[in-house]
Chains A and B, each alone.
Chain A
């Protein structure tokens, strides 16, 4: 079984982000999956809703790490677990992505073509259930420390950020394999006109193509649009 796992909490995004991801996943894959969401709002679109505990010492998107534990979300030994952020929209068939053959002790993440020194994208993690349980087990020993560690170090500039840094560090520390999906599948986009021009140029040069997004046209190679970055929301054109 494939479980696609997400986190939603009130404050920045709205429940329609979850619905948009849920619908676009179903529209663009023939692969069977269960869509699970940790949420503080019971009125969201998901096959399974698990409670978001505001009184826990686990904060915000760090709840994502729970899915690394095989004890969470009714995981079975042979399940493939996919964790996705809700700030993305699927635009083409993603059978290849969803059914990407992942091995034990391996983490699959989006390949990124823009300048990104970290080399991991928290928008998409895929792994075998339980094979990377150290990610959660090490985190929960000291959640207060890890949740502010990369902010305190100055590696990230917003409080509570650094979850990707933590996952990357644990993958390295435990000598797990990090695999990246083809770069051209992912589109990075924002609601900033100038930044989108820059990103279009970068994509065009990198993949020798005419455009990334032009008006309503999306490059054929692109499967996912990720509205990545601190404080970013999905461009309103893609929320329709």
Chain B
């Protein structure tokens, strides 16, 4: 089984990779064989992530974004089909107007799903033009997918909680990555490797 994350550009640093690995190794209970960091930067944006499916075409794979906090034993995340999260925490009215209800902060699959990459690559300029906001919109409108149950919650509207939500073991800090930086403190800081990111 393989754990994968992606790092390109300067938004995330080696600290974020080290921190994700630390939380997986310390709290998640996941037994994996390999921890892979995907660093190809062909698009300069989140669409870089699609090439992961063309790179890891065997075995069981779980992908995590670098802005996740894993603080307890996680449920079984291994899936046969291409599986990602949905934004269940969003207000239903917001979801109606959102470009997509999907969230690819965690993705799981087994074997070869390179067809996703191939479809995108075959007409990448077109897809980048019609789905400029999010790779998740591409998944939503162009790809067959399954979704996880509620395996994770969002820090949005929960940043002032004094403890992590015990109903979950993973929290996404998507669009709230600043909370990882040095100077910010909350319940999440205690789960980080050493100090916060510079």
Q: B81: shortest Cβ distance to chain A, in Å?
A: 33
Q: Does B11 contact A (CB under 8 A)?
A: yes
Q: A179: shortest Cβ distance to chain B, in Å?
A: 26
Chain B 165-179 near chain A by CB (<8 Å), digits 1 or 0:
000000000001011
CA of A66 to CA of B181 in the docked complex: distance in angstroms? 12
Q: A4: shortest Cβ distance to chain B, in Å?
A: 15
CA of A73 to CA of B185 in the docked complex: distance in angstroms? 8
Among the 9-residue stretches A12-20, A49-57, A228-236, the one with 4 or more Cβ atoms under 8 Å from chain B is A49-57
CA of A69 to CA of B184 in the docked complex: distance in angstroms? 9
Known: A71-B160, A72-B183. A56 touches B178 (CB 8 A): yes
Chain A 66-88 near chain B by CB (<8 Å), digits 1 or 0:
10011111100000000000000
Q: Is the interface of A mostly helix, strand, loop or mixed?
A: loop
Known: A71-B159, A71-B160, A72-B183. A140 touches B176 (CB 8 A): yes
Known: A71-B184, A72-B183, A73-B183. A51 touches B178 (CB 8 A): no
Count the B residues whose beta carbon is within 8 Å of the partner chain — how many? 15
Query: 29 A-B pairs, CB-CB below 8 angstroms?
Result: A38-B183, A50-B182, A50-B183, A51-B181, A51-B182, A51-B183, A51-B198, A53-B178, A53-B181, A54-B10, A55-B9, A55-B10, A55-B11, A56-B181, A66-B178, A66-B183, A69-B184, A71-B159, A71-B179, A71-B184, A71-B185, A71-B186, A72-B183, A72-B184, A72-B185, A73-B183, A74-B183, A140-B176, A140-B178
13 more contacts with CB within 8 A, not counting A55-B10, A56-B181, are: A38-B183, A50-B183, A51-B181, A55-B9, A56-B178, A66-B183, A71-B179, A71-B185, A71-B186, A72-B183, A72-B184, A74-B183, A74-B185
Q: Report B's interface with A, CB cutoff 8 A.
A: 9-11, 159-160, 176, 178-179, 181-186, 198
